[in-house]
Amino acid sequence: MNLYTFSSPVNFYQLSGKLIPWFMGGAVVLGLLGLYIGFFVAPTDFQQSEAYRIIFIHVPAAWMGMFIYLVMAFWGAIGLAFNTRMSFMMARALAPTGALFTFVALWTGALWGKPMWGAWWVWDARLTSTLILLFLYIGIMALWSSIDDVKRGDRAGALLTLIGAINVPIIYFSVQWWNTLHQGASISLTKAPSMAATMLVGMLVMAFAAWFYSIAVAFIRVRGIILERERQTEWVKTILEND
């Protein structure tokens, strides 16, 4: 048994079934812990006072929205190059969660922007490129569902995902490349975080909760896709008869 064992739908179906409760449980525990740290332990901010607490939702959601897109692009590239069935299914399973997180990031940002900046929305580079990310997610999902032939749909969606992937670095670096209203990154790989330790811990715990949640729901969705696509096979028939 090696890693490739799980590129077969039947094995992955069984593995993901065992893992889902663990990831979902982890997401609930980490989410509750993160919210507790964020809303009860973390201190108020010196200039935004309580309103800054948006970061415990906003930042993990924005990270997840960008990261899931990159993972989809990765699976799309693998699928196009090696013609592996599971990669396309993973890409399809991830898209709704990525869109959801991007939407949450935009929505919470607007709620915060009104009292802090003085505007719900501005067309600066960071906000605009994030809106494009949401449209890309919606466009890819629409493309998939508009093509009846599964294999053709997979390929078309993967291609669009790959083309849109250029948007992710643009979102990430927009605050460095241009004058934007959105502030720069508080956390990056190249310098020490410019935020108090408790705030940082709360945000990272929430980010891990978002990871666990994303993995769990992607697995749930991919199991559905596997059953649908393999419905002609013996093993799916056996499973369905036993249930």
Partner 1 sequence: MKSRHKKLLVIVLGVVGLGIAAALILNAFQSNLVFFFSPSDVAAGKAPTNRAFRIGGLVEDGSVKREGDGLTTRFIVTDTAKTIPVIYTGILPDLFKEGKGVVAEGRIGEDGLFNASQVLAKHDENYMPPEAAHALEQAAKAQQTVVPPQ
Site residues, partner 1 (CB under 8 A): 43-48, 51-52, 55, 77, 80-83, 115-119, 122-125, 162-163, 165-166, 170, 177-181, 183-186, 194-196, 199
Contacts of 7 (CB under 8 A, 6+ apart): 84, 85, 86
Q: What is the amino acid identity at position 74?
A: F
Structure token pair of residue 51:
């309103």
The pair phi, psi for residue 178, each rounded to 5°, is -125, 160
Q: Contact, 219 vs 19, CB < 8 A?
A: yes
Find the shortest distance in angstroms from Cβ 99 to partner 1. Answer: 22
Closer to partner 1 by CB, 100 or 106: give it. 106
Closer to partner 1 by CB, 14 or 186: give it. 186
Q: How far is CA 137 from CA 3, 7, 117, 200, in A?
A: 29, 25, 28, 29
Closer to partner 1 by CB, 27 or 207: give it. 207
Find the shortest distance in angstroms from Cβ 39 to partner 1. Answer: 15
